[in-house]
Structure 1
Amino acid sequence: MSLLAIHHVAIICSDYAASKRFYTEILGLEILAENYRAERDSYKLDLALPDGSQIELFSFPNPPNRPSRPEAQGLRHLAFNVKSVEEYAQYLERSGVAVEPIRIDEFTGKPFTFFQDPDGLPLELYQA
């Protein structure tokens, strides 16, 4: 018995339209399905990355804020592989997304940096 891969990561957003735009238009994720669940007053947007992994984007009425700083226990961030951290960071900045300075992973020697989604969820770019 073994795990094969990460299938999806689920994210709850505060502003569905802003987050949908961010993940589809800025990050370029493909929409697989979009459903409105009236009984929950909730949208569920299934998004795909090129490797087949997915992000499920949910909206719920009045979700509580995510503790972030100081770093809270639990999931720390979501990291994306990119061919060039520098080029993708420049693209994000041209798109109006603030990006931290690029750093080098002390163990792998690879560049990485962080940015945030519209709700402040920490996202990482990591050079493949």
Structure 2
Amino acid sequence: MADQAAPARNPSSPFASARGHHVAVRVPDYAEAKGWYTEKLDFRVLAEWTWAGLELAYLAPPNDDDFYVELFGGGNPDPGTYYTNVIDSLERPSYHHFALHVDSVDDALAELDRRGVTIFGRPFDLKEINSRLALIGDPWGNMIELSERLG
């Protein structure tokens, strides 16, 4: 982070072992969502199962086994709000996005554009967190941030 000192770690916290693991994404069509994440983002299917009448899976990025997207598919979920730009998405309190770190936001966007992925505007630099950022959307309006560390 630019010009911001991180608070000291707290190894005595009862939550000191906590680490990010996964984010769950609710989609109406499991097969279509699994196809989108594996074809557009090259995610890998690590596990699949059923629960409460839904189809679920853990998907992992192409070269990362420490973070997963958990798909919850099937049934008849409320379609919610499908955003077409980031600014409108800031008006509603709820889950907003999950982020993936990439080596080059611009290169990733060029490939995602070639693959027909929805891109929400041009990438931008946010010096306060030393990052170049862009947001994309899956077919159900779930937003995914791409993040690249600056310099």
The alignment's TM-score, normalised by the length of structure 2, stands at 0.75
> How far 1:97 moved relative to its partner?
0.8
**Partners of 1:114 and 1:103 in 2: CA distance:** 10
1:10 is paired with a residue whose SS is strand
Q: Does residue 27 of structure 1 match 2:38? A: no
Percent identity between the two aligned chains: 30
> How far 1:106 moved relative to its partner?
3.7
Structure 1: 5+ residue runs without aligned partners?
Answer: none
1:91 corresponding residue in structure 2: 111
> How far 1:3 moved relative to its partner?
4.5
Structure 2: 5+ residue runs without aligned partners?
Answer: 1-13
Residue correspondence of structure 1 range 1-128 to structure 2 within 5 A: 1=14, 2-37=16-51, 40-49=52-61, 50-67=64-81, 69-70=88-89, 71-99=91-119, 100-128=121-149
Find the structure with the greater CA-based Rg: 2
Deviations 1:41-86 (A, max 9, x none): 3101111230511111011311012345453212221111000000
Q: How many positions carry a matched residue from both structures?
A: 126
The alignment's TM-score, normalised by the length of structure 1, stands at 0.87
CA contact (8 A) 1:18 1:118 kept: no
**Cα RMSD, aligned residues only:** 1.8
> How far 1:17 moved relative to its partner?
2.0
**Partners of 1:120 and 1:104 in 2: CA distance:** 23
